[in-house]
Amino acid sequence: MKWAMSGDYAALITTVILAALLVGSVQTYALFRRWTSVYVDAARLLVDSTNRSRKAIQRGVEPDPADTDAIIEIISKPRRFLYRSTAAFLAVAVWVAVCTTLVVVQIDVLRWAATNQPSKDPDLARLSFYVAAGAVVLLVAEGVLRVLFQAGSSLSQAFRDYESMTSEERRTFYRALGARVASTPTAPAGGDPAHSDGTANST
């Protein structure tokens, strides 16, 4: 494949890069907010709990255990906040790198377009193609991975919330299910579900 820059290609690749930059900038902002919110929320909780404890002492009463527990938790376990923010930090780093690369390549394309009688510059054509294509692939992959991660997290939480039954509870549970199934009327084949209670329509 012979690579070559042209006016049409420069216009097309610019459209793709700008679209990817728009989405990437929004993603970077959202992820950056998610990353910093972990520390901002912890600082806010620490300040509020400390203020409430000070006011309680001024009133001559003991601070609320919930406030003292929150302060101890924040001070004694800082790594917990690091673990919670690691994924968001890595995602921010990736998107910052991608957006920076897109900006640099877009500037090169604009410089090429502004040159009087520009050369075909196959290196720039190849680089801009791979960068734009990589950004588009990353956008699609990130959306799919986010959905899969959220589904996996929800499923994992559902399994954690599940409470196992004893043998007697399980037998009672299955008997209740069987009785419910047996008592539920079923519509005849091709019948109207609205008349599935066994009664015939009067003529």
Tens-place pLDDT, residues 122-175: 999 999 999 999 998 988 887 787 777 777 777 777 777 777 778 888 888 778
pLDDT for position 203: 43
Rounded Cα distance, 148 and 164, in Å: 26
The whole-angstrom separation of Cα 70 and Cα 76 is 10
**Predicted TM-score of the model (pTM):** 0.60
More confident residue, 177 or 83: 177
CA distance 141 to 146: 8
pLDDT in tens, 6-33: 989 999 999 999 999 998 888 888 888 8
d(CA 175, CA 173): 5
Residue 37: which pLDDT band, with cuts at 50, 70 and 90? Answer: confident
Percent residues over pLDDT 70 in the chain: 87
More confident position, 117 or 77: 117
DSSP state of 164: P
Residue type, 19: A
Average pLDDT over the chain reads 81
Q: Are 35 and 89 in contact (CB under 8 A)?
A: yes
CA distances from 113 to 11, 14, 68, 128, 183 (A): 9, 11, 63, 13, 76
Which is more confidently placed, 34 or 51? 51
Using CA atoms, how far apart are residues 8 and 12, in angstroms rounded to an integer?
A: 6
